[in-house]
Structure 1
Amino acid sequence: MTELECPGLPASWLNAWLAAVGTTVLVPNLRLSWTESPSPHAVLVCDGDINPVDAVVESWPDSDRIGDMPIAEDWRSCEPTVPNIPLPIFRERASKGRGHKDAWSLSSTYTDMHVDASKPESMIVARSKLAPAAPGSNRTIHFRLARVHGLVGDLRDRVAATLAGEARRVNANGLGFDVTRITALGDASDKRVDPVIEVLAFFGLALFPIRGSGSQRSGAREGVLSFARQRGWNAADDDVPRMTWPAWSSPVAKSGIDALLDAWNPYRLDTWRRMGVHAAWKSVEFIWQGKDQTRGIGSEAL
């Protein structure tokens, strides 16, 4: 087997952690573990003599795949999506997208199991915190994905640089929740992201479906959205929903990560030992000022 340490994918950075998981979604025989250093980073393992960089490059999604996702703004004969998706549009996408290999692109970003019923004539489905609102022309999460996908450029060099921690960033908002893209209040420069990280992070969402209790709830939209439940998100000691994510020692493929995330409990140390988890983090959200709607998710070690 071929093993590659990836200092460019530190586990404490949520987008990089999701990106590492995303490599296993794209490459079925790729396995993922994390170093046991003070600042763990990803280790990718391939069977045989295939370099993990080459494996990711060979499985990289082309523009046709990105454009044919059920979450795409314009998809087949469906009504176009908008940032706040009405229930009928979601229902149509969910029905026509059953069996699609990227059906998760819809179920990991929105759910109809919690809706805003304060306006019955235009009920809005709940949205994941990992598909946040974005200003102006950034529109939907899929629009942002397609835009950043088109900024990758020379694929192999980009992927190799990203995994090595040597990638240069581009001017873009990315998926919209990377806290490291946010500049200081007095800094007029554009937000900057690593496009490879952003694309891989989106594919990492495949293991994080969003659900609810199946009820309707009237009230302010933000309050309703916070009621939807997504895998990995739990109420912390302060009753604020926070995402938690682990670093583990044994190399496991996508299905193994899926099982580990079910069995691991961030607040039960016996599950840490049983799952080989040696570090974990919880999300800390960026607090914007005034009318600024910038979103960002950082981390705090558990």
Structure 2
Amino acid sequence: MIPPHQYHNSITSVRWHGMGKRIFIVSLLALFCIACLARWGYRSRISQPRFVAEGAAHFRYTRMVSEGRPIPALDRDAQHPEGLMVFRETTPGMEYLFGYLHRIFPRTDLAAFVRFFSAFFFSLAVFPIALIASRLWGSRRAGLLSAALFAVALPLVARSSGFDFIRENVTFPLIVCHIHFLVAACEERSARDSVLSTLFLFAAMATWQGTQFYLIPLLSLLLARRIALEIGKGERLAAGLAALSVIAAGAVLPFLREGRFLLSLPAGLAYAWLVCDSAG
């Protein structure tokens, strides 16, 4: 039988733990709203904003999707005279995402919608950043501090306020979500987290070619750990699925096939991890 004072302390501990979790969640939601407001405030101070250069090209394809028109496989208006092979040379996943979402709100001005949703989607990274920092530092306060810095840091606010309609602003939250679920899968041996990590990695590769630069340090680290350490089942599953996802993306996505991704350094690291794992 638990003594009364110990019973009271245990109940209080549980309550404080639950309150801490609630405060953490509410604080994260508040920081997400602050991130969105900071970007809206920055955007509202710029008169007559326009999409230029790369962003204008992305906006053009987004308008096509929104209006139900197909993105041309060979776009001679984008590149003269030979034309741009859109699906072989670019990654129009972002344009499809924004275009299809705009169909849900057809009366909304497309440019305003793109600017709003671009900032909104980028700001979603507040949540995985806070969770990653909390896990690494063992402190929810550290997670909230990291999320707060991300929410209001001026270079990030300026870059993601909707003026630059660029693919990395969509891919960044996907990469951060991938990292969060990868770390969670390695620590908790969760098959669900491993699968989610894999899906986010594939989505990141499908939306931005620059994801390949992230793959090199990621796969190098996973390979080094597989060779030097006795990794757990959770990490083995998560890393194995990540390697398979990289190879699958290289085989399925047209722009990666065109660039012979399966012969690249990231693909080689994925092959090496699978070979090391199969060799025991």
Q: TM-score, normalised by structure 2?
A: 0.30
Greater percentage in helix: 2
Question: Who wins on radius of gyration, i.e. which is larger?
Answer: 2
- Name the one with the larger strand percent: 1
* Greater RCO structure (CA 8 Å; 6+ sep): 1
**TM-score computed with the length of structure 1 as normaliser:** 0.29
